[in-house]
């Protein structure tokens, strides 16, 4: 991608987190972000789009779905403290590594479970999930 095209593409900004009080709120948030992310994937250069949650107590979680609709999480080392909550919300055992594979049908529960611990979120273009196949 040339520099002019890269500069012309809007850069998603971090947004302060607004508490989601019901599963309906979570599903509306998911739908809104899904539409925004689909609008950003307009060129082959932008093949990877993720959501980054910045946590109040430190660290970040990058969330992306794969081609089958399952969730891939990249939990930064500063956010390792959140592992028990991810397990409780999704029913997935802690993989004891940075990357998590979560069934896609657990997305609402995951976001609802993390809700009170998120400081802000942003859409990330081109996040590289560096992992081997699960």
pLDDT digits (tens, 9 = 90+) for 74-84: 999 999 999 99
Question: What is the Cα–Cα distance from 77 to 54, expressed in whole angstroms?
Answer: 13
Q: What average pLDDT does range 25-30 have in this prediction?
A: 95
Task: Answer whether residue 93 shows pLDDT above 90.
Answer: yes
Q: Which of 75, 107, 77 is nearest to 90 (CA)?
A: 107
pLDDT at 134: 41
Q: Which of 29, 6, 38 is nearest to 121 (CA)?
A: 29
Residue with the two structure tokens 């989601």:
20
Q: How far is CA 54 from CA 31, 42, 59, 79, in A?
A: 20, 26, 6, 9
Instruction: Please provide the DSSP assignment of 61-115 as one string.
Output: EEEEE-TTS-EEEEE-GGGGGGHHHHHHHH-PPP-SSSEEEE-GGGHHHHHHHHG
Residue with the two structure tokens 């040339």:
2
Task: Answer whether residue 85 shows pLDDT above 70.
Answer: yes
| Residue spans of alpha helices (H) in the chain | 3-8, 23-40, 83-90, 107-114
pLDDT tens figures, 40-76: 766 665 567 889 999 999 999 999 888 788 999 999 9
Residue with the two structure tokens 């972000």:
33
Kindly indicate the confidence band of residue 7, based on its pLDDT and cuts at 50, 70 and 90: very low
Would you tell me the crossing angle of helices 23-40 and 107-114 to the nearest 10 degrees? 110
Please report, rounded to a whole number, the percentage of residues in the chain having pLDDT higher than 70: 80
């Amino acid at each position: 991608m040339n520099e002019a095209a890269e500069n012309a593409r809007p850069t998603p900004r971090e947004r302060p987190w607004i508490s989601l009080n019901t599963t309906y709120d979570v599903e509306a948030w998911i739908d809104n972000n899904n539409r925004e992310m689909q609008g950003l994937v307009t060129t082959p250069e932008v093949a990877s789009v993720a959501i980054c949650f910045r946590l109040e107590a430190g660290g970040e979680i990058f969330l992306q779905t794969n081609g089958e609709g399952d969730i891939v999480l990249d939990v930064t080392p500063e956010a390792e403290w959140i592992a028990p909550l991810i397990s409780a919300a999704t029913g997935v055992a802690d993989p004891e590594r940075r990357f998590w594979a979560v069934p896609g049908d657990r997305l609402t529960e995951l976001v609802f479970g993390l809700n009170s611990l998120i400081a802000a979120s942003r859409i990330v273009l081109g996040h590289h999930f560096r992992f081997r196949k699960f």
